[in-house]
Amino acid sequence: MHDHPAGAHGPDPAASTPTYPDQARDAATLPALTEHLVACRACPRLVAWRERVAAEKRAAYRDDTYWARPVPGFGDPQARIVVVGLAPAAHGANRTGRMFTGDRSGDVLFAALHRAGLANQATSVRADDGLELTDVRVTAPVHCAPPDNRPTPTERHRCAPYLDRELALLAPTVRVAVVLGAFGWQATLGALRAQGWSVPRPRPPFGHGAEVTVPHPDGRPALTLLGCYHVSQQNTFTGRLTPAMLDAVLARAVAVAAD
């Protein structure tokens, strides 16, 4: 089961009324959240950067039409596992309109999801390439490509309502969050705390292989966070994150989600 970015096969959200993250709490469904998100223009620096990249392009993609908008999460709407990254890549998701699609990080992630039985294919090059995710959804705490892959704390804070609402809409089924990197780890814990989950104080530190189970005071099933180094080239090319390490985290996610 999967969904595509709003606008990939329909009306151009750039022509719609701009939206802002603090309105995200009104989204009653994941498609409604996506429709709202792709029209967001709340961060001037990120809006300028994503559109500049789309205009200047990279030579290899000179014939491509860049998405150049906020990139929503995608995957199984009844996922038991959510993968939380950092932000779209300038010439990856900012070009294709789908998280982790069309770049080296995505090559690593989707190959691992395929090995884990969570994706129907090992590659992802464009939003309409037939990729389907089963029991997993992929998202990020910042939805626009940032310069140097570094969103500011203010930008993360401004974008936070989208992750808050996405996790809330997934709450009936989601049991595990695989969090790629320290940035996403802190953002996910913040989103859970904002929704009333019993996040420990001080917050548990990020680490590869870190595991934290966060209960909810109303008795709903707990959510387990699993830390994993980000699938960036900086980690995968240097061997800091190997395929075996990523496979082990995903195998643990599948096991916890099945309990």
Tell me which residue of 196, 174, 177, 194 sits closest to 185, measured CA to CA: 177
CA dist 169 and 241 (Å) reads 31
Give the CATH number of the domain where residue 126 resides: 3.40.470.10
Whether 62 maps to a domain, the answer reads yes
Over the stretch 58-117, which tens digit does the pLDDT of each residue have?
A: 999 999 999 999 999 999 999 999 999 999 999 999 999 999 999 999 999 999 999 999
- Written as six digits, the tokens of 20 are 């802002």
Whether 7 maps to a domain, the answer reads no
pLDDT of 258 > 80? The answer is: yes
Whether 40 maps to a domain, the answer reads yes
Whether 166 maps to a domain, the answer reads yes
Whether 6 maps to a domain, the answer reads no
Q: What is the pLDDT of residue 83?
A: 98
pLDDT of 208 > 80? The answer is: yes
Mean pLDDT (the chain) is: 92
Residue 259's Cβ-count burial label (10 Å; 0-12, 13-18, 19+) is exposed
Q: What is the pLDDT of residue 144?
A: 98
Whether 244 maps to a domain, the answer reads yes
Over the stretch 144-153, which tens digit does the pLDDT of each residue have?
A: 999 999 999 9
Q: What is the pLDDT of residue 14?
A: 45
Q: What is the pLDDT of residue 10?
A: 33
pLDDT of 13 > 50? The answer is: no
Whether 1 maps to a domain, the answer reads no
Over the stretch 18-73, which tens digit does the pLDDT of each residue have?
A: 888 888 988 999 999 999 999 999 999 999 999 999 999 999 999 999 999 999 99
pTM of the shown model:
0.93
- Domain limits for position 253: 13-258
Domain count, the chain: 1
Segment 155-159 mean pLDDT: 95
Segment 228-256 mean pLDDT: 97
Model confidence band, residue 16 (pLDDT cutoffs 50, 70, 90):
low
Tell me which residue of 132, 17, 5 sits closest to 67, measured CA to CA: 5
Whether 54 maps to a domain, the answer reads yes
Model confidence band, residue 6 (pLDDT cutoffs 50, 70, 90):
very low
Q: What is the pLDDT of residue 217?
A: 83
Tell me which residue of 105, 74, 75, 111 sits closest to 92, measured CA to CA: 105
CA dist 133 and 116 (Å) reads 11
Is 2 in a helix, a strand, or coil?
Answer: coil
